[in-house]
Amino acid sequence: MSKTSVSNETESMLCLWVEPWGTDHWMRPGEQFTVVTELEPEESPFNVAVHAQGITVWVNSANSSEVVDKDGVVVPCGHQRPADLGW
């Protein structure tokens, strides 16, 4: 199992996108999420990009992934998504 953690150190909501599935998981300031896959760590399972719309974690060569909060609770797609994104 491989994991990578992402934390929101800004003062605004921040979107964590997980690709190639295109799921969005919104983090409040100070929150931390972890992306988990079934791949072994030595297989380099993640690429991370920071951009104007948030952070994208690209999961390489995996059939699935989950996003969990600091307590290990699964964070579903659309979690805390703002009603008006303004994009």
Measured in residues, the chain has a length of 87
19-58: per-residue pLDDT in tens?
999 999 999 999 999 999 887 766 677 888 888 888 999 9
- First-residue to last-residue Cα distance in the chain: 35
> Would you say the pTM of this structure is higher than 0.95?
no
In sequence order, what are the residues at sequence separation of 6 or more whose Cβ sits closer than 8 angstroms to the Cβ of residue 35? 3, 4, 5, 6, 16, 18, 46, 57, 59, 65, 66, 67
Q: What residue type is assigned to position 70 of the chain?
A: K
